[in-house]
């Protein structure tokens, strides 16, 4: 093989190796982005299943957040939630009831929505803190997220309608649904963990 041929062959080999490395680095990033987008769409879909009981509707939003946190992890779930809120901010009909409200953060649900990415991050980090998370630990992880959501949500609602009324319409009606969603999310995650072990 001549010097010129070696140079050409070597250059082609180097280019092929460089392209392979680039693909290997890009592919996980694309998959990661796809998961975040899919999580945002999942949250948007669950937001449409609602029951109107006051200024703050009962939806499957929080259940979606718990599941995203369990199965995506804290960071990815938080970004999925931020993507959802970003879509709402630019005017896409992703809020409950396919509603459009770019100023959602100043509405009665603003505190709850702001708390979503924080809760998703905390639940995901806590749930994965232990490699062999028990069912009780999963329940505890969700309860921490629930406290964050209702603490911020009720506090913001209280600024608008008063503390007593905020408790009556922004917390008490949600206790039983919140408990059911907590048990459901922890059971699904626990079942998945047991299935992986078998």
Task: Look at residue 55 in the predicted model and tell me its pLDDT.
Answer: 67
Task: Look at residue 12 in the predicted model and tell me its pLDDT.
Answer: 46
177 CB-near residues (< 8 Å, 6+ apart): 58
Residue extents of the structural domains in the chain: 30-193
Tell me the pLDDT band of 68, cut-offs 50, 70 and 90.
very high
Mean per-residue pLDDT, 7-31: 59
pTM for this model (two decimals): 0.83
Tell me the pLDDT band of 23, cut-offs 50, 70 and 90.
very low
Task: Look at residue 2 in the predicted model and tell me its pLDDT.
Answer: 57
Task: Look at residue 42 in the predicted model and tell me its pLDDT.
Answer: 97
Q: What is the pLDDT of residues 161-187, one digit of tens each?
A: 999 999 999 999 999 999 999 999 999
| Residue 78 confidence (pLDDT) above 90 | yes
Q: What is the pLDDT of residues 95-125, one digit of tens each?
A: 988 899 999 999 999 999 999 999 999 999 9
Tell me the pLDDT band of 4, cut-offs 50, 70 and 90.
very low
| Residue 83 confidence (pLDDT) above 90 | yes
Q: What is the CATH number of domain 30-193?
A: 1.10.1760.20
| Residue 10 confidence (pLDDT) above 80 | no
Task: Look at residue 158 in the predicted model and tell me its pLDDT.
Answer: 96
Tell me the pLDDT band of 134, cut-offs 50, 70 and 90.
confident
């Amino acid at each position: 093989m001549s010097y010129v041929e070696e140079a050409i062959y070597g250059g082609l080999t180097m280019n092929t190796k460089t392209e392979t490395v680039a693909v290997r680095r890009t592919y996980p990033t694309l998959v990661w982005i796809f998961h975040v987008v899919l999580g945002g769409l999942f949250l948007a879909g669950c937001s449409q299943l609602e029951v109107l009981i006051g200024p703050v509707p009962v939806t499957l939003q929080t259940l979606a957040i718990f599941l995203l946190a369990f199965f995506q992890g804290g960071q990815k779930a938080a970004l999925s939630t931020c993507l959802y809120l970003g879509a709402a901010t630019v005017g896409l009909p992703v809020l409950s009831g396919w509603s459009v409200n770019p100023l959602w953060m100043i509405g009665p649900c603003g505190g709850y929505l702001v708390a979503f990415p924080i809760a998703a991050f905390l639940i995901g980090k806590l749930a994965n803190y232990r490699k062999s998370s028990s069912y009780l630990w999963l329940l505890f992880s969700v309860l921490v997220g629930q406290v964050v959501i209702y603490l911020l949500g009720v506090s913001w609602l209280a600024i608008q309608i008063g503390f007593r009324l905020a408790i009556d319409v922004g917390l008490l009606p949600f206790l039983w649904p919140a408990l059911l969603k907590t048990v459901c999310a922890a059971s699904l995650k626990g079942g998945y963990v047991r299935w992986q072990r078998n």
